[in-house]
Amino acid sequence: MGYPDQRFDVNLSILFTELPLLERPAAAAAAGFTAVELWWPWIETPTPPQAELDALKKALDDVGTQLVGLNFYAGQLPGPDRGALSVPGEESDRFRANIEVAADFAASVGCTALNALYGNRVEGADPQVQDALALENLVLAARAADGVGAILLVETLNKPESPLYPLVSAPAAIEVVDRVNAATGLGNAKFLLDLYHLSMNGEDLSQVIKAYAAKTGHVQIADNPGRGAPGTGDLPLERLLDELKDAGYAGWVGLEYKPGERPSADSFDWLPPSARAAG
């Protein structure tokens, strides 16, 4: 049990950001990791030129890193946005334009998990209208994901850092997951359980794990306070990951923490090099 018993991947949108995007897979590989995940890297466009998609695929393939998670287009992230799919008008259109692009790219690199961030509440927009739009778009995304053998992830964020994001508890995200699965009949919508976000919301993490491990498709971690590497805060992350494993979760654990002032490569001292390569 413990950290060496997990399958870790590195989030290249928060770690190794001191490097250009196309150099990050090699940096993760040099640190001993064989799996990575990404937020949508092209924040300005849901439909980047094919040459840029091909270049990212080559950067992953050249060093043998497996992309295990990818966000759909989510607006300005990092930045003020927290997704596009529930935002009426142009942002919803951009999300829809991205669905096939993201799914096709995921298929091209063997990525089987696509994360659809819900989007912020918009001043002047009826929350019920936003939720109806979200369900429409999530159904489209779930079908596209299923078409390439992938799951669709729905993520809880935290209210202090994302005050306009409506899914700020585990039950809120689970409700959306259940609604999408009921609408599609596919069963491929899953919960993205982020222990940092849930802890920021003050949730009982052990209880969340017991209640929702079976509906969890991906896990992300950072310590709290500070969103740093394990051991920089107070969360019993090793114990919580053991609890997830005991509850039947056998998927990836994404390292989505800030390295602090040091280079990203120096932030993995909590994890033995022998435990970084995932089989």
Q: Residue-wise pLDDT tens for the chain (279 aa)?
A: 789 999 999 999 999 999 999 999 999 999 999 999 999 999 999 999 999 999 999 999 999 999 999 999 999 999 999 999 999 999 999 999 999 999 999 999 999 999 999 999 999 999 999 999 999 999 999 999 999 999 999 999 999 999 999 999 999 999 999 999 999 999 999 999 999 999 999 999 999 999 999 999 999 999 999 999 999 999 999 999 999 999 999 999 999 999 999 999 999 999 999 999 986
Residue 215 token pair: 């509906």
Residue 111: predicted pLDDT: 98
Q: Which among 276, 268, 258 is positioned nearest to 18, based on CA atoms?
A: 258
Q: Which of 37, 91, 203, 256 is an active site residue? A: 256
Residue 2: predicted pLDDT: 80
Residue 1: predicted pLDDT: 72
Q: Which of 37, 91, 155, 203 is an active site residue? A: 155
Return d(Cα 154, Cα 189) in angstroms, integer. Answer: 7
Is 52 a known active-site residue?
Answer: no
Residue 19: predicted pLDDT: 98
Q: Which among 190, 200, 199 is positioned nearest to 251, based on CA atoms?
A: 190
Q: Are strands 151-155 and 189-194 parallel, antiparallel or unpaired?
A: parallel
| H/E segment holding residue 155 | strand 151-155
Return d(Cα 257, Cα 73) in angstroms, integer. Answer: 21
- What is the DSSP-derived secondary structure letter of residue 252? E
Is 256 a known active-site residue?
Answer: yes
Question: Is 210 exposed, middle or buried (CB count within 10 Å of its CB: 0-12, 13-18, 19+)?
Answer: middle
What are the residues facing 155 on neighbouring strands? 192
Residue 235: predicted pLDDT: 98
